[in-house]
Every structure is written in C-alpha cells, then in structure tokens.
Amino acid sequence: MFESAELGHEVDKATWKKEQPVLREDLLAAQFELLEKNAFPVVILVAGVDGSGRGETVNLLNAWMDPRTIETHGLELPSGEEQRFPPMWRYWRVLPPRGKIGILFGSWYTAPILGRVEGKLKSGALESSIGEINRFERMLADEGVLLLKFWFHLGPRLGALRAVRRFRGDLRARASADEPWPRPMDRRRGKRRALSEPHGRKGPARGRATAAR
C-alpha cells in the first residue's frame, strides 16, 4: 500500500541548495497573489506516522512563507467542551476564509481511521464515514476551497529507529531554514503496516511548538 513511498526517495544537498531559493520565492509569490486577489481558501491537511517530520515541515513552511496569513491548528482529541458539539463543528471553526491558508494537524479523517484500527468501527461504518468525508470535501471544492492532503510516511524500520531515538532524546527536533532537510530515508522496504496515527500521545514532534493553541 505504501510501496511507492518506501522507495528510498532522496534529495542530495546540492540539489536542495539549488532548488530551495526558487521554491521559496514561488511560494511567497503564490501566497501574496492569493491574498491580494482574495482568491480562495487553502486548506492543508497534514497527517502521517510518528517521526515523519510533519511538525518540522510545517514549521519550515511558516518560516518560508508569511506566517500572518497562515493559521496552524493541532486538532487532537476533542476537549470536553468540543464534545458538546457535533464532531465536524471543530473543523468548521478552523476553516480559513478566502485568501488565507489553514494547516490542520489531525482532521476529519482521524476519528474514522483510529476507530477502524482500534476495532471500534466495522468496515461498513468506515465505508459510510468515507462517503460522508467525500461529500464534505466535494462541497468544500464546490465552494472554491483548494484542499491539499499530505500523508507523511516512513517505512517501518526507519519509523522504529526514529521512535527509539526520540525517546532517548537524541534526535534533533528543531528544524530551521538552514539545516539540511529532508533526511535520507531507509532504503530497505519494511513489511506492510496497518494504517496508524498514534493519537494517545501529547502531539506532534517535540521541539518547537507546532500547533497554534
């Protein structure tokens, strides 16, 4: 299922150095035009396995682009207050207006995925959740939203390695614009893994706070 993401994709330092400034300029230009024209909302869903660099990447985006029109939200388990409202309510709250960008850690996918992995959701219920999600996203698209969804993947071996290193506090969790990124991935293919996004922990990668609280 994740085979094409476990091929050992890699970017060498020289390419990185060359492409980075062009990318940054393009991103800023697009963001500026988006704001000027009040064109459409941009919603970015960020999901993936632990240690895959979601937090670092989003911090990088915020450093490269103008953070004034980007709002980043960590939508972990719903709080007691949030549970009084229908589940979709807290996602609707954080949807950005036209011209702005919203980045969501955790989304309307999280509960159905976890429910299925933990066995609380039968496959029929998962199907119907996916149907609802598809209709919801269809509506966002019809309303003009640009919806981008990213799954950050690590093969099982590298994932385990990073988890251990993070636990021991070895891994540098800070990502700044000048550090080499991304790290080369493990070339060995792991076994097929079940879909998972650990949710019982306190949040994404340690280091600089990623969620706007």
Partner 1 sequence: MRRRLDSEPGEDAPSVLPAEPVGGRNVIVSLDLTQRLEEDEYEKRLEKLQGRLNQLSRHKKFKRTGIVAVFEGNDAAGKGGAIRRVTAALDARHYRVHRVAAPTDEEKSHSYLWRFWRRIPPLGHVGIFDRSWYGRVLVERVEGFASGADWNRAYGEIRDFETSLHDHGLVVVKFWLAISSEEQFRRFKDREKTGYKRFKLTEEDWRNREKWDEYVQAISDMVDRTSTDAAPWTLVEAEDKLWARIKVLETICDRVEERLESL
Would you tell me which residues interact with partner 1 (CB under 8 A)? 26, 30-31, 33-34, 37-42, 81, 84-89, 92-93, 95, 97-99, 132, 135-136, 139-140, 142-146
- Which CB sits closer to partner 1, 11 or 94? 94
The DSSP 8-state label assigned to residue 71 in this structure reads E
Listed residue (206, 198, 167, 203) closest to 48, CA to CA: 198
Rounded Cα distance between 136 and 10, Å, is: 35
Report the nearest approach of partner 1 to the CB of residue 30 (Å). 4
Nearer to partner 1, 133 or 160 (CB): 133
- Residues 127 and 111: their CA atoms lie apart, in Å, by 13
> 34 or 45: whose CB is closer to partner 1?
34
- What is the dihedral sign for C-alpha 118, 119, 123, 126? negative
In the complex, least distance from residue 2 CB atom to partner 1, rounded to whole angstroms: 26
**Nearer to partner 1 among residue 98 and residue 189 (C-beta):** 98
- For 80, residues 6+ apart whose C-beta sits below 8 A from its C-beta are none
CB of 19 to partner 1, least distance (A): 15
